Amino acid sequence: MSRLVLALIGTALIGCGPSYGEGQGAKSPDEIVAEQEALAAEQEKLGRDPSDYAAPEVTEDEKKRQWDQPFAELELKRASRSAETCPESVTEKAPKGKARVTLVFANDGRVKEARLGEPYADTTVGKCVLRAMEAVIVRTYTGPEHTLEWDVDLTGAKKSGMANAGE
């Protein structure tokens, strides 16, 4: 019985002992360099530039924080409908035509500056148009201030829109 126990213990020690197979030791500097060169050669075969892997992609959150042109146009159209009624709401005889409004938007989405072209610049109708257009609020965004030119139709035909869109 004692021989059986000793044989089992001996077998267990031999079976659980260290293995000296390939890949167990630390790599030499030459082996590391050779491995790196093999990886570089493989990458070159694939035709990929290592800088491609680090190219930043625009995330969904970053897209949400960019200037939203379609939303801005929607809000400007809404404000234009209000501005188009200005000639009807005042007694002043204003010339019929298109009023070009230049709007500068701050990053918080509010109009920072609004200018109105001639012949409406210093008229009661012009002030009404500016009030309507200055009330526009777009989504907040990152980046520089955004400037837009917008035509407000004061002829009664209600064809306001992005300046230079049909030209």
What is the per-residue pLDDT across 84-120, written as a single tens digit (0 to 9) for each? 887 665 555 667 788 899 999 999 999 999 999 888 8
For residue 98, what are the β-bridge partners? 153
Strand locations in 27-145, DSSP E?
98-105, 111-116
Is the confidence at residue 165, as pLDDT, over 70? no
Task: Kindly tell me if the per-residue pLDDT of 22 is higher than 60.
Answer: no
- pLDDT of the residue at 164: 59
8 Å CB contact between 146 and 104: yes
Instruction: Say whether 91 sits in a helix, a strand or coil.
Output: coil
pLDDT bin (cut points 50, 70, 90) of residue 32 is confident
The confidence score (pLDDT) of residue 38 equals 85
**Residue 85 vs residue 70, higher pLDDT:** 70
Asked whether the predicted pLDDT for residue 161 surpasses 80, the reply is no
What mean pLDDT is predicted for residues 68-77?
92
Helix axes 124-134, 69-84, angle to 10 degrees: 150
What is the average pLDDT across 135-145?
A: 91
The pLDDT of residue 89 is: 54
The pLDDT > 90 percentage for the chain reads 28
Reference 89, options 122, 121, 119, 132; nearest CA is 132
When pLDDT is cut at 50, 70 and 90, the band that residue 77 belongs to is very high
